[in-house]
Structure 1
Amino acid sequence: MTIAAARALTGDRRVFVGIGLPSTAANLARRTHAPDLVLIYESGTLGSKPTRLPASIGDGILAETADAVISVPEVFNYWLQPGRIDVGFLGAAQLDRFGNINTTAIGDYHHPKVRLPGAGGAPEIAASCGEVFVVVRQSRRSFVERVDFVTSFGHGRGGDARRELGLRGAGPTRVITDLGVFRPDPETRELVLTDLHPGVEVADVREATGWELRVAADLGRTPPPTDAELAALRTLKEAS
């Protein structure tokens, strides 16, 4: 999953990176095939090049290795909201068939079963980045028919929901899980399984999906991780 997510990042694009799985994938991409990626973290670090995985957006290594450090309001006002960031890379606790993300609460908002970390800058990232990649471990608990709370807007209830709200970015264009890769249908915006990871079958994905799964007619397979990619990932994690 991490390597498939890293491969999705190419060239010299500016990436707004979330902590956790997105940060691992983004840093792996920069260490391997995309050394010119510009990693931007919510704390105001532009062009961070950490030698290990940061523990949080406040980890000092992000500032120490950055091209520049600016204030949080500047990141959002001058970089994110004007559309200067190409890719937002987010995680999720819950995700629905239209790519809406919940990181706020499981169950009723006022009396939740689980209170989650919350929004942070994710709603603005989802609204304003050129496109959004989501990386999440897949199960019926995470892939739900309808999220309990919309923390970050994906494609709403589908169709032209984003355009009707005046949102700048294209929203989730790729969802990468430990089972495969999903992309939104060009018209309905419903997530469609487009690629399976090695060793995974469609039945496995259906079992881990909380809605009636759509599968692409030309379903592909992600290439297995290379030895070099695995070595780079292990080195990155061992240094943390």
Structure 2
Amino acid sequence: MTGFTVEEQVISVLAGIYRGEVIAAAATVSADIAARLAKALYAPEIVLMAGGSMAGYDCAPTAKGLNDEWIASASAVRGSDWIETFDLISAGKYAICMGPVQVDRTGSCNISVLGDWARPKVAMIGSRGIPDDLVRLSELTFHVRRHTPRALVERVDFRCGLGFGPDREKLGLTRGEPRMLVTDLGVFDFDRDGAGMRVRSLHPGVSFDDVARATGFELFPPRGAIPVTPPPTEEELYWIRERLDPLGVRRLDSPVPPPGLLAELAERERSLWTTPAGGTR
């Protein structure tokens, strides 16, 4: 088994964030598959959570992308509710990977609006649980599927979650800070004083100049050689392709998804549930 895609590279990296007796939650397709991969190979003690309501499920990703609570309910160990979810977040029992629309140099993030709050160009889903998450979580990672100056910005248009810097220090916050940012170009983290984003590694074939051009703020090169992100192992690729995501739902996280992908995934998934006589399994 040779070669791998950028989505498989990202999944391999994200699988490393889920360790210990935590509830693993994901807000991107790649992070969802990564949590399953971590449980299968590295951390059997983690608990998979679908949508904040189905814990301990065991099912493959569906054509709509993220974990489906209705399908997950068939294999879930137990149900949950949002009160319990936020109690567990406050107790530091959650490890979450988010998919922000914007991230700035301090690690603050935005999923609410683009443009001015009073007259936004785009209104999105709102802050949801992010204000609590960036205060209470034991482990928080960002996944931005396409590294561009529009996604990595000098200052987010609306701060849903607080990154590093003086504001966090004034509030005395000790948990919930974003530990890592993973994109299609590399792996990054943030200076605790809020000075900026740092390069931890670049994916194979990516240069510092590539990343600098794709970032909406000044990115300083690290001292010495920049590490190359370790590629996914043969075992990881087998599990990703054959066991966890045989439909290839991970391609939804491609920087440029191929045309007709949703229709293809829906048809392939439909064939799994349809009998030759036209009924359903």
TM-score bucket of the superposed structures, by smaller chain: 0.7 to 0.9
Q: Distance in 2 between matches of 1:37 and 1:215?
A: 36
- Aligned residue in 1 for 2:97: 89
TM-score of the superposed pair, with normalisation by structure 1: 0.86
What number of residue pairs does the alignment pair up?
Answer: 235
User: Is contact 1:42–1:121 with CA below 8 Å preserved after alignment?
Assistant: no
Shift of 1:48: 3.1
Could you tell me how far apart the structure 1 residues matched to 2:58 and 2:133 are? 21
Matching residue of 1:106? 114
Structure with greater strand share of residues? 1
Q: Trace 1:142-181 onto structure 2 (pairs within 5 A).
A: 142-155=151-164, 158=165, 160-181=166-187
**What displacement does 1:135 show?**
0.8
SS at match of 1:125: helix
Note the 1:127-142 alignment, pairs <5 A: 127-137=135-145, 138-142=147-151
- Secondary structure (helix, strand or coil) at the match of 2:127 reads coil
**Unaligned regions of 5+ residues in structure 2, if any?**
1-9, 250-281
Task: Give deviations 1:156-201, integer Å, cap 9, x for gaps.
Answer: xx2x432422435141011111111111224446320111111111
Structure 2 distance, partners of 1:22, 1:126, is 18
> What letter matches 1:127 in structure 2?
V
Residue 202 (structure 1) aligned with residue 212 (structure 2): no
Partner of 2:245: helix, strand, or coil? Answer: helix
Counterpart AA for 1:199: G
Alignment RMSD (CA, Å): 2.4
Match of 2:232 among 203, 213, 225: 225
Which of 77, 86, 107 matches 1:67? 77
Larger radius of gyration: 2
Residue 14 of structure 1: CA displacement? 3.1
* 8 Å Cα contact 1:28/1:232 also seen in 2: yes
Which of 127, 132, 136 is the aligned partner of 1:119? Answer: 127
Q: Secondary structure at the match of 1:134?
A: strand
- Which of 211, 218, 233 is the matching residue for 2:217? 211
**What amino acid does structure 2 have at the position aligned with 1:195?**
S
Q: C-alpha separation between the residues in 2 aligned to 1:72 and 1:202? A: 42
Question: 1:17 — aligned with what?
Answer: 26
Deviation of residue 84 (structure 1)?
A: 2.9
Amino acid at match of 2:100: A
CA distance in 2, matches of 1:166, 1:123: 15
Retained in 1: the 8 A contact 2:28–2:143?
no
- In structure 2, relative to structure 1, the CA distance for the partners of 1:170 and 1:81 (3 Å cut) is closer
Higher mean C-alpha displacement, 28-37 vs 135-144: 28-37
**In the alignment, is the contact (CA less than 8 A) between 2:190 and 2:198 conserved in 1?**
yes
Aligned partner of residue 222 in structure 2, secondary structure:
strand
Cα pair 2:108 2:163 within 8 Å, conserved: yes
Query: How far apart are residue 81 of structure 1 and its match?
Result: 1.8
Contact (CA 8 Å) 1:43, 1:57: kept in 2 or not?
no
More helix by share: 2
CA contact (8 A) 1:154 1:172 kept: yes
**Correspondence 1:6-45 to 2 at 5 A:** 6-45=15-54
Query: What is the letter of the counterpart of residue 176 of structure 1?
Result: V
How far does residue 204 in structure 1 lie from its aligned partner after superposition?
0.6
Residues 222 and 188 of structure 1: CA distance in aligned 2, closer, same or farther (over 3 Å): same
Q: Kindly tell me: are residues 175 and 67 of structure 1, through their superposed partners in 2, closer, same or farther at Cα, counting changes over 3 Å?
A: same
Tell me the secondary structure at the aligned position of residue 181 of structure 2. strand
Aligned equivalent of 2:241: 234
Deviation sequence 1:145-165 (CA, Å, 0-9, x none): 11111122222xx2x432422
The one-letter code matched in structure 2 to 1:81 is S
State the distance in 1 between where 2:118 and 2:106 align.
Answer: 24
Q: 1:64 to 1:38 in 2, by over 3 A?
A: same
User: Structure 1 vs Structure 2: percent identity of aligned residues?
Assistant: 32
